Structure 1
């Protein structure tokens, strides 16, 4: 295959994988959709472009979704205390053992179902201790929908449903009522932020208008959409309206006149809507046998004269309710921030900075460090990741791989020598700046990971202190049949896109054919951008296979 003036073997073989195949970088079809949509230019155009255009293109690609709501490793329901318990700790599940397909004979999850669940009319019976009741999984069971947005889920040897995203460190139902999927509905009600004069508020930094959404504060202190569980036999559309009225308008305490006006406005406003997401939710209540799934729908008041005119009042289990700016630095529940990112991008509104320092990094926490002889990171719970959270007893493991010391591509060991490095700037030929902005240094002058604690200090297997820059080319083509026609997936009715993937020899995971460079700054000025250099270099060194995913139609 030839792209511009570069010629190299790109596709060696093509294999078909389902949406459940485990890929290290993503197996989320709509995340890859956003990747595809954000391709700034073709390779031919890029090779002929100037420095400014290349920088803009790189930053556009760099803002590709960090979305993990659908099929990436769940984080909030692993390696932490179960919510609303007296510190009930989940069994530790490292990233490489999350998938049920990975054999783990020593796995002993904690068995827990909250006492409040037993005997409730909204909850299933305890089938762990009683074989008399048979639930019909993967189908409509009376008035209870036991199907999953994720497709057919498996049952274990005891006929209990298995979480389609893998192990969580706890079995039973936790505080969830249903075995298997527990369906919820999340209305994302938005409007444009306006001035007193009625003009839309413009954010000068992002050069976009500011979007607001209705948010409620939960008892946990997290902010969330005014959503909730879909009742047995209830339609999702009805649940969206009911939950919004109960939690954001306190409909239970409205007088008849207020209730009538409320119902009329909601009925008219909720007739439209754009579905943002439907699927698995990384909810802290999830267990091995019970998990949350949701349908999130955006209802937008474009003119501000509909739902925006209603008086918000916290009700049901909400502490407070308000119109909140999208982009506000507050803690949002579960995957709600991810959904807002999608809404903001669809409406070309101000969004959250990406990548975001408050997004919990998960693959570099609570696991064994790769390519080490079992070096275990110090466990870091979600609420202690941020450096701004005091943690006087934090004592991370110190580790720098022996192969790093003395290499020409690596920095000197600042723990044992006093070689001055110039962080947050160009240091000779080394770019020590970060795409996240200026990062902090600790009391020893060592850079601090802008995304927070990882449970290990030193450099690990990385060469540089601070940011280590890499480049990931996403090379795609349409899948075609023997006649040269684009292949249409019969289920999604969309064309099938293929991308170049390499199977890494060090871990067996699939990845983009990217490469770490000395500096992004250096490769930009070298005349051959690292994006394209990486592609040529790696496709010649390894067997490349194209993995297809449905990315949508043009």
Structure 2
């Protein structure tokens, strides 16, 4: 999976820098192209073929986890600048808000973290997902964990760690993923059963990112790169508290 800015030189990433030759690759899949949307909108995507078809930009910008601007055409611009990709490979134009519950259990050398194996790309990841329309971050955190692992976090008070852009493989100049990550601390492990978008759910060693990487690699699996900063931030918080 390619990093969202791998093909864009650092000096040309900012939207304020002129780049007449910029030719991003269109990553829009067939089901989200205008002719397909006109026939039938997938249940996971909005029906706006172009950003100019979106009617509630002010509301979207006001509720965004990470602020962003619109260009002179009325198209949203990725907050971090050019990505080398255009179009939309996500459910919505601009920010696709996600909730990522980082669930840790136990303490010290016995501490573990709950990860799922994603069904779409087959890597170990935090059991999160997109917010439903009108859903709060806290509600989404609980729902996503319950749907993908069977573990109910209702009644547990999380620590909100960040609200940030995730380096998701589907991101483009005009559609991207922003996540609110939260840490849940359980006294001990509870049974996890994979469901929904997850094909497996397991507890992994969580005393350091190095140890987590080693355990996942030893099992013949791969840690989702986009979630590494979120897990690193959770470890930093746990080590300080």
Q: Which bin holds the TM-score, normalised by the shorter protein? A: 0.7 to 0.9
- The count of corresponding residues between Structure 1 and Structure 2 is 220
Report the CA distance between 1:318 and its aligned residue.
1.2
For 1:97-128, what per-residue CA distance to the aligned partner results, in whole angstroms no more than 9, with x for missing partners? 11111110010112231233441244222343
Cα distance in 1 for residues equivalent to 2:81 and 2:43? 28
Cα distance in 1 for residues equivalent to 2:90 and 2:58? 18
Which residue in 2 is equivalent to 1:328?
212
Aligned-residue Cα RMSD (Å) equals: 2.3
Secondary structure, counterpart of 1:276 in structure 2:
strand
- Give the unaligned 5+ runs of structure 1: 1-74, 80-91, 193-199, 201-207, 250-261, 350-554
Which residue in 1 is equivalent to 2:114?
214
Matched, 1:245 2:161: no
Which residue in 1 is equivalent to 2:4?
77
Report the CA distance between 1:239 and its aligned residue.
0.9
Map 1:442-521; keep pairs closer than 5 Å: none
1:191 aligned residue (105, 118, 123): 105
Contact 2:84 2:173 in 1 (8 A): yes
Matched, 1:101 2:16: yes
Contact 1:182 1:291 in 2 (8 A): yes
Which residue in 1 is equivalent to 2:155?
268
Question: CA, structure 1 residues 293+334, in 2 after alignment: closer, same or farther (shift >3 Å)?
Answer: farther
Report the CA distance between 1:235 and its aligned residue.
1.3
Cα distance in 1 for residues equivalent to 2:236 and 2:153? 25
Cα distance in 2 for residues equivalent to 1:241 and 1:281? 20
Report the CA distance between 1:137 and its aligned residue.
1.8
Cα distance in 2 for residues equivalent to 1:146 and 1:313? 37
Cα distance in 1 for residues equivalent to 2:155 and 2:139? 13
Matched, 1:123 2:45: yes
For 1:425-453, what per-residue CA distance to the aligned partner results, in whole angstroms no more than 9, with x for missing partners? xxxxxxxxxxxxxxxxxxxxxxxxxxxxx
Cα distance in 1 for residues equivalent to 2:166 and 2:58? 18
Cα distance in 1 for residues equivalent to 2:153 and 2:196? 18
For 1:362-383, what per-residue CA distance to the aligned partner results, in whole angstroms no more than 9, with x for missing partners? xxxxxxxxxxxxxxxxxxxxxx
Contact 2:65 2:180 in 1 (8 A): no
Which residue in 1 is equivalent to 2:124?
223
Map 1:376-391; keep pairs closer than 5 Å: none
1:285 aligned residue (167, 170, 182): 170
Which residue in 1 is equivalent to 2:63?
147
1:135 aligned residue (40, 49, 55): 55
- Give the unaligned 5+ runs of structure 2: 217-221
Matched, 1:347 2:238: yes
For 1:316-349, what per-residue CA distance to the aligned partner results, in whole angstroms no more than 9, with x for missing partners? 1212110011232143224322222222222228
Question: CA, structure 1 residues 114+215, in 2 after alignment: closer, same or farther (shift >3 Å)?
Answer: same
Which residue in 2 is equivalent to 1:172?
87
Report the CA distance between 1:211 and its aligned residue.
2.3
**Which is helix-richer, 1 or 2?**
2
Cα distance in 2 for residues equivalent to 1:104 and 1:214? 43
Q: Which ranges of 4 or more aligned residues in structure 1 deviate by more than 3 Å?
A: none
Contact 1:146 1:180 in 2 (8 A): no
Cα distance in 1 for residues equivalent to 2:101 and 2:116? 12
Report the CA distance between 1:134 and its aligned residue.
3.8
Contact 1:184 1:230 in 2 (8 A): yes
Which structure is richer in relative contact order (CA contacts within 8 A, separation 6 or more)? 2
Question: CA, structure 1 residues 147+171, in 2 after alignment: closer, same or farther (shift >3 Å)?
Answer: farther
1:232 aligned residue (102, 124, 133): 133
1:315 aligned residue (174, 188, 195): 195
Which residue in 1 is equivalent to 2:219?
none
Report the CA distance between 1:313 and its aligned residue.
0.9
Contact 2:90 2:175 in 1 (8 A): yes
Secondary structure, counterpart of 2:193 in structure 1:
coil
For 1:13-56, what per-residue CA distance to the aligned partner results, in whole angstroms no more than 9, with x for missing partners? xxxxxxxxxxxxxxxxxxxxxxxxxxxxxxxxxxxxxxxxxxxx
| TM-score in terms of structure 1 length | 0.37
Report the CA distance between 1:148 and its aligned residue.
2.5
Cα distance in 2 for residues equivalent to 1:138 and 1:332? 36
Question: CA, structure 1 residues 176+247, in 2 after alignment: closer, same or farther (shift >3 Å)?
Answer: same
Contact 1:281 1:334 in 2 (8 A): no
2:75 aligned residue (160, 167, 178): 160
Contact 1:284 1:334 in 2 (8 A): no
